[in-house]
Amino acid sequence: MRTIFFTLFLLFACWSTSSFATLDEYHFDSEEQKSDFREVTEELRCLVCQNQSLAGSDAELAKDLQREVYKMMQQGKTKDDVIEFMVSRYGDFVLYEPPMKPSTYPLWFGPFFILAIGIFLLGRTLVKKKRSKEVELTDADQEKLAKLLSNTAENRDT
C-alpha cells in the first residue's frame, strides 16, 4: 500500500513540475503573448531529454532556449520566426511534428500506403471467398453430395 502511495506521489510530483512551471518566470504583456509562448515551447523538443518539450524540460539548455524564445517574442518576432531560428540551428529534430518535404514523405504517407495494401488484400480475399460460395453444383456433384450425406446419416444410426 505504501508503495502505491509513493508511486502516486512521484507521479504527481512529476506532473506539477511540467509545462506550466516555466511560465511563471516570464512576464507577458498580454494573455495572447503568453499563450503564443506556451504554444511554441510545447511544439519544440528539448535536445537534452529528447522526449520532453522545451516547455516541460528543466535542463540547462532548455532553459537557455526558452529564454531565447521569450526574447525573440518580446522583440515582436512571430511564431514562425522563432521556429525557423531553432530549425536553422538544431535541424528538423527540434520539431515534434516533422515538416512535409520529400525526405519525410515516407513518414507521412507510408502508413496510408500500408493501409491501402491491407485494404486491397482484404478486398481481394473477400471477393475470392464470395466467388467460391457462388459455385454452382453440377448434377454429378449433387449426386455425390447426397450420397455423402446419406452415408453420414447411416453412420450415425449404427
Nearer to other proteins, 67 or 144 (CB): 67
Q: How far is the CB of 89 from other proteins (least distance, A)?
A: 4
Q: How far is the CB of 23 from other proteins (least distance, A)?
A: 21
State yes or no: residue 48 binds other proteins (CB under 8 A). Answer: yes
- Taking the chain, what is the end-to-end CA distance rounded to the nearest angstrom? 65
State yes or no: residue 50 binds other proteins (CB under 8 A). Answer: yes
Q: Name residue 95's beta-bridge partners.
A: 44
State yes or no: residue 61 binds other proteins (CB under 8 A). Answer: yes
Q: Confirm if 99 and 86 have CB atoms less than 8 A apart.
A: no
State yes or no: residue 65 binds other proteins (CB under 8 A). Answer: yes
Distances (CA, A) of 128 to 41, 118, 137, 148: 53, 15, 17, 26
Contacts of 79 (CB under 8 A, 6+ apart): 36, 39, 40
Question: Side-chain half-sphere of 144: how many Cα atoms within 13 Å?
Answer: 5
Nearer to other proteins, 48 or 146 (CB): 48
Q: How far is the CB of 64 from other proteins (least distance, A)?
A: 5
What cell was used for 48?
537534452
Nearer to other proteins, 83 or 87 (CB): 87
**Contact residue for other proteins among 35, 78, 84, 89 (CB under 8 A):** 89
State yes or no: residue 144 binds other proteins (CB under 8 A). Answer: no
